[in-house]
């Protein structure tokens, strides 16, 4: 989803895109934290 979105920062730092982790839902984590 994010691959290529931060390539313009490569001159300033190393940009690494990690593979997705299907068993981890950031939407669920955000929902849990907001409660």
Strand locations in 1-35, DSSP E? none
pLDDT at 12: 99
Residue 1 confidence (pLDDT): 77
Interval 4-35: pLDDT, tens? 999 999 999 999 999 988 888 888 999 999 98
Check the CA dihedral 20-22-25-27 and report its sign: positive
- The answer to whether the CB of 17 falls within 8 A of the CB of 2 is yes
């Amino acid at each position: 989803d994010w691959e290529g979105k931060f390539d313009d920062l490569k001159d300033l730092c190393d940009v690494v895109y990690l593979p997705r982790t299907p068993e981890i839902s950031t939407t669920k984590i955000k929902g849990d934290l907001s409660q």
